[in-house]
């Protein structure tokens, strides 16, 4: 592997001159710069990034922690963040915590060792609780680099935050179903204690309360299931819902991945969506428009979330801003083919005369 001394020898200059060309730390004539650049290309020389970072105290590297890389919502956010980082001249180190606080802690230590300039964090589900959130906040303070939280809040005033108004999204979803005449509306939530899930469920509860729609004889809790933010969880929860009596005419599902599982469960049970059951998801992942039927969902502004997270982080990295900033973005409803106006089932009384007539037929 070529060294900086090899480059200096090939270009006929000193090692110091090569260093000035690489780091733009001193004016070097155009002719000398061209000789150095030519020697670098010919030898395939790659500068030692760690050594350069020790001198400049920066690495042009940002970190990102997400709880589940198999969730399309997080995958789409990562793509936006990575593109924004690349355009700004930064590389991105991505870590999947699998919603495990222990892995989250280990990866933050690894990022500290790599001397990252800043980090974007979507915390684990457990971090939403008191102890988990406190532990994460302490570790982020110890990391000592600018941090932007995305989607999930923790009690750490030094961190920036970008998130969607999740409760407002829940209100949008359920108000849409109510406007279509649905009154018995179930909800499939995410993991207990995860802030976005709890806020979306709260939106469901508020919309039901403000409409006066009776959630059932046992209250709203009787219509709430948990799906763990996975397609399998949504599938299992929907099968449970379809076994209830009376069956809901609509379901608000707190993310699209669960909603896709719910659609499959309805299909397997012979329940036609949307004629017999309306379904609304949350996130507007790319797959939502290609589900069968295409999924009505609450869209999170993913492009803005990813771009703002990087821009806010780079502001802090560059020292342009020191105080923490919170940005809450508004969701939008995307109406597709998985919701329809509620039509009450045929009145049982209407069948009684026909039964009587059949009984009188000789």
Among residues 308, 312, 285, the alpha carbon closest in space to that of 298 is found at 285
Tell me, yes or no, whether 352 lies in a domain: no
The answer to whether residues 91 and 143 belong to one domain is yes
The 10s digit of each residue's pLDDT in 307-344 is 999 999 999 999 999 999 999 999 999 999 999 999 87
Judge whether 347 lies within some domain: no
Q: How many C-alpha atoms does 26 have within 13 Å on its Cβ side?
A: 7
What pLDDT shows up at residue 116?
A: 93
pLDDT in tens, 152-174: 888 888 899 999 999 999 999 99
Is residue 67 assigned to a domain?
yes
- What mean pLDDT comes out for the span 256-261? 98
- Domain with 315 in it: what CATH number? 3.40.50.2300
For residue 356, tell me if it sits in a domain.
Answer: no
- What are the residues facing 147 on neighbouring strands? 119
Same domain for 186 and 159, yes or no, is no
User: What is the CATH classification number for the domain harbouring 34?
Assistant: 1.10.260.40
Within a domain: 112:
yes
- The answer to whether residue 217 is domain-embedded is yes
**Considering its fold, how many domains does the chain have in total?**
3
Residue 349 lies in a domain: no
CB 90 within 8 A of CB 62: yes
CB-based burial, 31-47: b 16+ in 10 Å, e otherwise? ebbebbeebbeebebee
**Domain housing 109:** 61-165+303-330
pLDDT single digits (tens) 37-83:
999 888 888 776 555 554 545 689 999 999 999 999 999 999 999 99
């Amino acid at each position: 592997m070529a060294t900086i001394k090899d480059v200096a020898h090939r270009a006929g200059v000193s090692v110091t001159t090569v260093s000035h060309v690489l780091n733009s730390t001193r004016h070097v004539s155009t002719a000398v710069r061209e000789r150095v650049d030519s020697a670098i290309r010919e030898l395939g020389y790659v500068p030692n990034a760690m050594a350069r970072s020790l001198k400049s105290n920066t690495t042009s590297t940002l970190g990102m922690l997400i709880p589940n890389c198999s969730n399309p919502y997080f995958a789409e956010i990562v793509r936006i963040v990575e593109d924004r980082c690349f355009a700004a001249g930064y590389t991105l180190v991505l870590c999947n915590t699998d919603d495990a606080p222990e892995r989250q802690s280990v990866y933050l230590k690894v990022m500290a060792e790599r001397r990252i300039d800043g980090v974007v964090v979507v915390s684990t589900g457990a971090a939403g609780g008191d102890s988990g959130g406190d532990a994460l906040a302490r570790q982020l303070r110890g990391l000592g680099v600018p941090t932007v939280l995305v989607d999930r809040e923790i009690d750490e005033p030094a961190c920036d935050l970008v998130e969607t108004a999740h409760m407002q999204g829940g209100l949008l979803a359920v108000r849409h179903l109510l406007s279509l005449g649905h009154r018995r509306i179930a909800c499939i939530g995410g993991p207990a204690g995860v802030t976005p899930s709890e806020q979306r469920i709260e939106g469901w509860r508020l919309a039901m309360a403000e409409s006066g729609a009776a959630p059932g004889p046992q209250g709203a809790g009787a219509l709430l299931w948990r799906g763990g933010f996975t397609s399998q969880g949504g599938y299992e929860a929907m099968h449970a819902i379809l076994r209830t009596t009376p069956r809901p005419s609509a379901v608000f599902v707190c993310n699209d991945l669960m909603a896709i599982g719910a659609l499959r469960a309805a299909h397997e049970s012979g329940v036609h969506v949307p004629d017999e059951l309306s379904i609304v998801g949350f996130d507007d992942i790319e797959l939502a428009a290609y589900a069968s039927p295409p999924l009505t969902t609450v869209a999170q502004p993913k492009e803005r979330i990813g771009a703002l997270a990087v821009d806010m982080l780079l502001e802090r990295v560059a020292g342009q801003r020191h105080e923490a900033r919170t940005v809450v973005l508004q969701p939008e409803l995307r109406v597709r083919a998985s919701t329809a106006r509620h039509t009450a089932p045929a009145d049982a009384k209407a069948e009684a005369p026909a039964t009587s007539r059949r009984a009188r037929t000789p």
